[in-house]
């Protein structure tokens, strides 16, 4: 098989994407993962190292990958009994399958010389991370609009939608960073929450403690010792909430985070007794099947737009179902013949949390409200 290996230097291209039933997939591609041996890896056989450290595949696979040259050390094929030394370059050549995302367009809101703002769809990560590389906002903008390099100046969680600001240069990104660190930037989100949110402004001052292993945050009330030092592990966090409207069952709430902790808005809303209405992580007894039904409805709606041509007014991109291409099935791949990697079926719903506004000393950027913000 004539294989062309990609590295992070290979830019995403428009033909890399496959659209099926309202879902954006990345056509699987051959990729070189590179790592350098840690001190604690030294002395392990190459197969033991992978079996112990990278448990996503079975030992038999790693045995075959070493024998076939899919796993190399310092650019050379080694035996399965080879013992790794510290700092050696270890390459793992894989048939890479990226997780799918919703097929919503990354809509350009403002394109300037120094700054680009877009409306980020839910389910799409901002930049390469984990198993995502091309199925990211930065990757899609490069592939579909030839916009690169881009420097995101703030983060939005993968399931959060809305305003995303990207600098066009490292120097411009540094200006934004300094303003954010100096407390000169104000942020506004909206959320759809459970129940009738109080009419008066709610200010939540609860420390946020993020557990990376569990992937979720908890809140802690302040607890000081006799010297005025906190006894808690969480970071100080403050969010102001104002009700926009309610129908009794749900409320649309304006959220103004003063700090920027992981999942701050989500866990602070949970602490008020009004969690985000489709937040599977922070809503007790959340019905996942209901989320998947909603996602299915979204896929149907997106699919109906796939025959549209390019619209220059909103920068939408034509997504034709007829453009689907088959891809090479790799005999060693543990994910083939599926498009998505194992464990990713695309059945998830975007969080009802949306960034609508960022403002600084002499600038303001805004994003339209999403459809779910209407309670009529």
Q: Which residues are catalytic?
A: 157
Q: For residues 353 and 373, what is the distance between their CA atoms, to the nearest angstrom?
A: 9
Q: Which two tokens stand for residue 290?
A: 């209901």
Q: How far is CA 82 from CA 18, 78, 370, in A?
A: 40, 6, 55
Give, as one character, the DSSP assignment of residue 334. S
How far is residue 334 CA from its own chain's centroid?
24
How far is residue 221 CA from its own chain's centroid?
29
Q: For residues 146 and 140, what is the distance between their CA atoms, to the nearest angstrom?
A: 9
Whether the CA torsion 6, 7, 9, 15 is positive or negative: it is positive
Q: Which two tokens stand for residue 368?
A: 């339209």
Task: Return all residues near 346 (Cβ < 8 A) that are at least 6 apart.
Answer: 23, 99, 100, 101, 295, 340
Q: For residues 110 and 116, what is the distance between their CA atoms, to the nearest angstrom?
A: 6
């Amino acid at each position: 098989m004539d294989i062309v290996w990609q590295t992070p230097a290979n830019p995403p291209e428009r033909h890399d994407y496959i659209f099926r039933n309202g879902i954006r997939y990345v056509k699987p591609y051959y990729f070189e993962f590179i790592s350098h041996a840690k001190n604690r890896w030294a002395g392990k056989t190459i197969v033991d190292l992978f079996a112990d450290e990278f448990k996503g595949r079975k030992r038999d696979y790693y045995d075959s990958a070493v024998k076939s040259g899919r796993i190399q050390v310092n650019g050379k094929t080694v035996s399965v009994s080879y013992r790794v030394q510290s700092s050696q370059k270890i390459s793992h050549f894989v048939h890479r399958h990226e997780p799918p995302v919703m097929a919503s367009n990354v809509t350009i809101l403002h394109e300037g010389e120094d700054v680009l703002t877009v409306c980020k769809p839910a389910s799409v990560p901002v930049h390469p991370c984990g198993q995502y590389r091309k199925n990211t906002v930065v990757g899609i903008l490069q592939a579909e609009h030839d916009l690169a390099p881009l420097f995101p100046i703030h983060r939005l969680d993968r399931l959060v939608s809305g305003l995303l600001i990207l600098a066009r240069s490292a120097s411009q990104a540094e200006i934004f960073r300094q303003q954010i660190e100096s407390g000169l930037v104000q942020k506004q989100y909206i959320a759809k929450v459970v129940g009738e949110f109080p009419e008066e402004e709610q200010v939540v001052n609860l420390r946020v403690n993020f557990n990376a292993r569990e992937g979720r945050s908890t809140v802690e009330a302040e607890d000081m010792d006799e010297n005025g030092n906190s006894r808690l592990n969480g970071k100080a966090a403050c969010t102001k909430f104002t009700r926009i409207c309610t129908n009794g069952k749900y409320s649309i709430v304006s959220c103004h985070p003063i700090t920027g902790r992981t999942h701050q808005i989500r866990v602070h809303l949970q602490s008020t007794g009004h969690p985000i209405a489709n937040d599977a992580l922070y809503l007790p007894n959340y019905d996942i099947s209901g989320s998947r039904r909603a996602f299915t409805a979204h896929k149907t709606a997106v699919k109906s737009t796939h025959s549209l041509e390019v619209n220059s007014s909103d920068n939408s991109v034509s997504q034709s179902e007829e453009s689907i291409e088959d891809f090479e099935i790799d005999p060693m791949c543990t994910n083939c013949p599926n498009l998505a990697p194992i464990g990713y079926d695309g059945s998830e719903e975007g969080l009802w949390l949306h960034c609508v506004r960022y403002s600084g000393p002499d600038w303001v950027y805004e994003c339209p409200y999403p459809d779910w913000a209407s309670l009529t």
